[in-house]
Chain A
Amino acid sequence: MTVSVPETAAKPQKGFKLDFKTAGPLIALILLVILGYSLNPAFLNEGNITNLLTRSAFIGIIAVGATFVITAGGIDLSVGSMAAFIAGMMIIIMNSAVSSMGASVWTVLLGVGCSLILGIGAGYINGFLTTKAKIEAFIVTLGTMGIYRSLVTYFADGGTLSLNSGAREIYRPVYYDSFLRVPYPVWVFILVAVIGWILMNRTAFGRYCMAIGSNEQVARYSAIKVDRVRTWTYILQGLCVSLATIIYVPRLGSASSATGVLWELEAIAAVIIGGTMLKGGYGRIGGTVIGALILTAIGNILNLTDIISNYLNGAVQGVIIVAAVYLQRGSFKRAVRKKAE
Chain B
Amino acid sequence: MSDAVSTSVPAILSANRISKSFGDIPVLFSIDFDIRPGEVHAIIGENGAGKSTLIKILSGIEQPTSGSITYDGKTVVLPPNGQAAAMGIVVIHQELLLAEHLSVADSIFLGRELRSGPFLQLKEMREKTREILAALDVNIDPDARINTLSVADKQMVEIAKAISRDARVIIMDEPTAVLSVAETKTFFEQIRRLTAKGVAVIFISHKLDEIMELADRVTVLRDGQLIATVGTENLTPDSIAQMMVGRELSNLYPPKHEPDVDAEVLLSVRGLSAPGISDISFDLRRGEILGFAGLIGSGRTAVAEAVVGLTRKTAGTVTVRGAPADYTHVAQSLDAGLAYMTKDRKGRGLLLNAGLQPNLTLLTLKKHMKYGFLDGRSEEQALDRAVRRFDVRARDPSVAVGKLSGGNQQKLMLGKTMESDPDIVIMDEPTRGIDVGTKQQIYHIIAALAAEGKAIIVISSEMQEVIGLSHRVVVMRQGRMAGVLEGAEISEAEIMRYAAGIKQGGENDRLSA
Chain A residues in the interface with B (C-beta under 8 A): 1-11, 14, 198, 202-204, 207-208, 210-211, 214-215, 217-225, 281-282, 338-341
Cβ-closest chain A residue relative to B329 = A225
Instruction: Please state if A225 and B331 are interface contacts (CB–CB under 8 Å).
Output: yes
Q: Which residues of B contact A211 (CB under 8 A)?
A: 351, 354, 358, 362
Report the separation of the CA atoms of residues A225 and B330 in the bound assembly, to the nearest whole angstrom: 9
Report the separation of the CA atoms of residues A3 and B28 in the bound assembly, to the nearest whole angstrom: 11
Q: Tell me the smallest distance from the CB of A328 to a CB of chain B, in Å.
A: 15
Q: Which residues of B contact A14 (CB under 8 A)?
A: 396, 398
Q: Which residues of A contact B94 (CB under 8 A)?
A: 1
* B interface residues, how many (CB within 8 angstroms): 54
Q: Which of B323-344 contact A (CB under 8 A)?
A: 329-331, 334, 340, 342, 344
Report the separation of the CA atoms of residues A340 and B396 in the bound assembly, to the nearest whole angstrom: 17
Report the separation of the CA atoms of residues A208 and B362 in the bound assembly, to the nearest whole angstrom: 8
Q: Which residues of B contact A225 (CB under 8 A)?
A: 329, 331
Cβ-closest chain B residue relative to A281 = B353
Instruction: Please state if B347 and A204 are interface contacts (CB–CB under 8 Å).
Output: no
One of B25, B51, B354, B416 near A6 (C-beta < 8 A): B25
The 3 A-B pairs with the shortest beta carbon distances in the complex, nearest first, are: A4-B48, A223-B330, A4-B405
Instruction: Please state if B395 and A8 are interface contacts (CB–CB under 8 Å).
Output: yes
One of A7, A217, A223 near B347 (C-beta < 8 A): A217
One of B174, B394, B396 near A1 (C-beta < 8 A): B174
Cβ-closest chain A residue relative to B370 = A202
Q: Tell me the smallest distance from the CB of B182 to a CB of chain A, in Å.
A: 25
Instruction: Please state if A5 and B351 are interface contacts (CB–CB under 8 Å).
Output: no
B181 within 8 A of A: no
Most A Cβ at <10 Å: residue of B50, B349, B350, B395: B395
B273 within 8 A of A: no
Instruction: Please state if A341 and B23 are interface contacts (CB–CB under 8 Å).
Output: yes
One of A7, A224, A341 near B362 (C-beta < 8 A): A224
Q: Which residues of A contact B511 (CB under 8 A)?
A: none
Q: Which residues of A contact B129 (CB under 8 A)?
A: none
Report the separation of the CA atoms of residues A7 and B173 in the bound assembly, to the nearest whole angstrom: 25
One of B24, B204, B351 near A218 (C-beta < 8 A): B351
Instruction: Please state if B393 and A7 are interface contacts (CB–CB under 8 Å).
Output: yes
Report the separation of the CA atoms of residues A220 and B340 in the bound assembly, to the nearest whole angstrom: 12
Report the separation of the CA atoms of residues A220 and B22 in the bound assembly, to the nearest whole angstrom: 36
Report the separation of the CA atoms of residues A202 and B379 in the bound assembly, to the nearest whole angstrom: 12
Q: A2-B405, A9-B396, A215-B352 are in contact. List 7 more A-B contacts (CB 8 A).
A: A2-B47, A3-B27, A8-B395, A214-B354, A220-B348, A223-B331, A223-B334
Most B Cβ at <10 Å: residue of A1, A2, A207: A1
Instruction: Please state if B405 and A218 are interface contacts (CB–CB under 8 Å).
Output: no
Q: Tell me the smallest distance from the CB of A2 to a CB of chain B, in Å.
A: 6
Report the separation of the CA atoms of residues A6 and B405 in the bound assembly, to the nearest whole angstrom: 11
One of B331, B353, B366 near A282 (C-beta < 8 A): B353
Q: Which residues of A contact B395 (CB under 8 A)?
A: 5-9
Instruction: Please state if B358 and A2 are interface contacts (CB–CB under 8 Å).
Output: no
Given contacts A5-B395, A202-B373, A223-B329, contact A214 B351 (CB under 8 A): yes
Report the separation of the CA atoms of residues A338 and B22 in the bound assembly, to the nearest whole angstrom: 9
Contact with A along B12-50 (1 / 0, CB 8 A): 000000000011110100000000000000000001101
Q: Which residues of A contact B393 (CB under 8 A)?
A: 7
Instruction: Please state if B52 and A339 are interface contacts (CB–CB under 8 Å).
Output: no
Given contacts A214-B353, A281-B353, contact A5 B363 (CB under 8 A): no
Cβ-closest chain A residue relative to B334 = A223
Report the separation of the CA atoms of residues A300 and B23 in the bound assembly, to the nearest whole angstrom: 46
Report the separation of the CA atoms of residues A204 and B51 in the bound assembly, to the nearest whole angstrom: 39
Q: Which residues of A contact B52 (CB under 8 A)?
A: 1-3
Most B Cβ at <10 Å: residue of A5, A210, A219: A5
Q: Tell me the smallest distance from the CB of A231 to a CB of chain B, in Å.
A: 15
Cβ-closest chain A residue relative to B375 = A202
Report the separation of the CA atoms of residues A204 and B367 in the bound assembly, to the nearest whole angstrom: 10
Given contacts A1-B174, A2-B405, A9-B25, contact A203 B372 (CB under 8 A): yes
Report the separation of the CA atoms of residues A281 and B352 in the bound assembly, to the nearest whole angstrom: 11
Q: Tell me the smallest distance from the CB of A236 to a CB of chain B, in Å.
A: 16
Instruction: Please state if A210 and B329 are interface contacts (CB–CB under 8 Å).
Output: no
Q: Which residues of B contact A281 (CB under 8 A)?
A: 351, 353-354
Q: Which residues of A contact B365 (CB under 8 A)?
A: 204, 207-208
Q: Tell me the smallest distance from the CB of B366 to a CB of chain A, in Å.
A: 7
One of A1, A8, A221 near B349 (C-beta < 8 A): A221
Report the separation of the CA atoms of residues A271 and B363 in the bound assembly, to the nearest whole angstrom: 28
Q: List 12 A-B contacts (CB under 8 A).
A: A1-B174, A3-B48, A3-B50, A5-B22, A9-B395, A203-B374, A211-B354, A211-B362, A217-B344, A222-B330, A223-B330, A340-B23
Most B Cβ at <10 Å: residue of A202, A222, A281: A222
Q: Tell me the smallest distance from the CB of B416 to a CB of chain A, in Å.
A: 8
Report the separation of the CA atoms of residues A285 and B94 in the bound assembly, to the nearest whole angstrom: 38
Most B Cβ at <10 Å: residue of A202, A219, A221, A225: A221
B431 within 8 A of A: no
Instruction: Please state if A340 and B354 are interface contacts (CB–CB under 8 Å).
Output: no
B294 within 8 A of A: no
Q: Which residues of A contact B351 (CB under 8 A)?
A: 210-211, 214-215, 218, 281
Instruction: Please state if B348 and A217 are interface contacts (CB–CB under 8 Å).
Output: yes
B499 within 8 A of A: no
Report the separation of the CA atoms of residues A102 and B328 in the bound assembly, to the nearest whole angstrom: 53
One of A2, A204, A341 near B406 (C-beta < 8 A): A2
B468 within 8 A of A: no
Instruction: Please state if A207 and B358 are interface contacts (CB–CB under 8 Å).
Output: yes
Q: Which of B381-430 contact A (CB under 8 A)?
A: 393-396, 398, 402-406, 408, 416
Q: Tell me the smallest distance from the CB of B96 to a CB of chain A, in Å.
A: 14
Q: Which residues of B contact A208 (CB under 8 A)?
A: 365
Q: Tell me the smallest distance from the CB of A171 to a CB of chain B, in Å.
A: 34
Instruction: Please state if B174 and A2 are interface contacts (CB–CB under 8 Å).
Output: no
One of B47, B174, B374, B408 near A202 (C-beta < 8 A): B374
